[in-house]
Every structure is written in C-alpha cells, then in structure tokens.
Structure 1
Amino acid sequence: MMSTTVPMTERNLAHAEAIRMLKARYFRNMDQRDWEAMIDVFVDDAVMDMRSEMAALAHAGLAVDPQAGLIEGRPAILQAMSSALVGTITVHHGHMGEIDILSDNEAEGIWPMRDVILMPQGSPVRQLRGYGHYHERYRRVAEGEWRIAHLRLSRLLIEWI
C-alpha cells in the first residue's frame, strides 16, 4: 500500500465504506456463484493475479497450469473464476480491511482472509483451508461506484485435508 493517503474526511470515510461493501459483495457473489452480479465488482480492464495460488494448487497435485494465473480483463476474470470453481463449495471470509483512499477515484486495500474450498469428487485432496491477504487497488467508474481494478491473493498458509 502507498504511504501517502488522503486524510479521512467524512467523504473519504464514505468511500471506504463503499469499498467495504464492494468486497463483501465479491465474497458473497463468489460463494453463491452469482457471476452476473460479479460483473459490477470489477472494472472493465481489471487484472487478477493468482499466480502464487496456481503454483500452490499444482504443488498439491491438482490439474492446473502453475504458470497460469495472471488474468486480464473482466470477461476473462469471470470466466476463470467460474471455471475454477466448478464442482466446489466455497466459503470466503474477509476481515478488518485496511483501506487507503488515494484520491476521489483511487484507493488501495489489504484484506486478511480465510477460505474453505471443498474440492470436487475425485480430486487428490478433499478440502483446502487457506489463510492470507487480498491486496487490491480500486477505481471509481463513471457511475460513481467503486470497483476492483487489481486483485492479488497472497496466502500465508494452506491446509490440505
């Protein structure tokens, strides 16, 4: 996160709250597989960096490309998310997000996270329990809504069951 932030005025507190609600929708839409609603979570040219995630999954024996995981553009992100979660049941939690408002239209955030992913039948592992952080950049779009512009997941611990 950047070290220079805009002071937390009433307006910036409102921006931070809007970003908290955005992140809550991200988690809920993913777990409920509501890909139509997920469209409003990302900007058109968003980037999702899941390279370390893919390497960890490949290391566990799952059939993924360990070199994949840098996904560019909202359509590609939604396709990758929906394809990766086929046959799984997921529960994602984000906790105590640190949000820096950089300007009226830009912000950054770090979200401690925990997730549980029940893998499809026939997978080499039954369940993944993950702990780590989402590192994100946000942008306000023309409609005034905040959206995710860049997302990177960094895991601190993965428990394979």
Structure 2
Amino acid sequence: MPTPTPDHRSGSDSRTLRDALGCFGTGVTVVTTLDRDDAPVGLTANSFTSVSLDPELLLVCLNKKSATLPWFERAEAFAVNVLHIGQQETAQRFATPDIDRFRDTDWEAWSTGVPMLCDSLANFECAKFAEYDGGDHLILLGRVIRVRFDSDRDPLLYFRGGYRALHFD
C-alpha cells in the first residue's frame, strides 16, 4: 500500500502547500535594479515566466519580505538574469540577506543602467510594464528591451528545496 501523501486545504498549514509547489522544477534567476543612489541591488527568485511575445512581456514574483523590494517598487527598469548550472554560488549569495551581493559579482550596465550579471545563461533587460499585489509577493511585469543568452550551457534548476542539474537518459 502506498504511503499517503499530505493533503492541503485552503487555510491549512502552508508547509504542505509549499512542499507540493516544490514538486514543480523551476529555473533560478537573479533579479536586479538600482537603488536611489544608483547602486546595484538584487535578489534570487525562481518564480519567473514568459507572459507574451507580442508585446514582449515577462513576469517575476518578488517576496515582500525582501529588504530590496522598495527599490523594485520604485524602479522604472529591472533585469532578470537566468543562472546556469555553474552559478549556484551566485544564487546563494543573492538569497543571503545583509551582505554585499555584488562584491564578488561581475556585472555590466546596458541602456537602462540596471545591472546585468555577466556570464549568465540569459539576461533580460526590462522596462517596468506593471506591478500587482500577489499576497506575500509583488508580481512585477516587464516589457523586454534587450536579451542576451548562451545556448551552450545548461540551466541551474530548483526542485524540492534544492538545486539540481538537467539529467538526460
């Protein structure tokens, strides 16, 4: 007889829901912008998706508890940097609070001035198109201005609370 799986119902414990959502493997991104002094800020996020090809829109969801959230709320532009399998340390650094996340990070500015992480699997420079309340997250919608990507690398993946690599049979 199979082991019963946890059952989540609206209003019950959020851990069960989080564990169930963790069954969906995602890519890992670092979302970046500038603070009021034009210093780079960023955070790790794995809730990222394409929205539309015409117009060219994407979205990312940012935790409202993040200390960097106010800069994204004020920003006119931001970047989504998709990480490759060799950038697990970068993902960890941008997920760690109260450190200088850019100290050991190579980056460059494109037309909007926002930081684009060098050596990423893909970079999306975006103008803010809209933002929406998403409960404990801010849903940030961006109009893509410029893209760069490396088709020769594999993505860094996140699944069931840990980083993963693609596996081919």
TM over 0.5: no
TM bucket by the smaller chain? under 0.3
* TM-score (norm. length: structure 2): 0.26
TM-score for the superposition, normalised by structure 1: 0.27
Q: Bigger radius of gyration, 1 or 2?
A: 2
Larger helix percent: 1
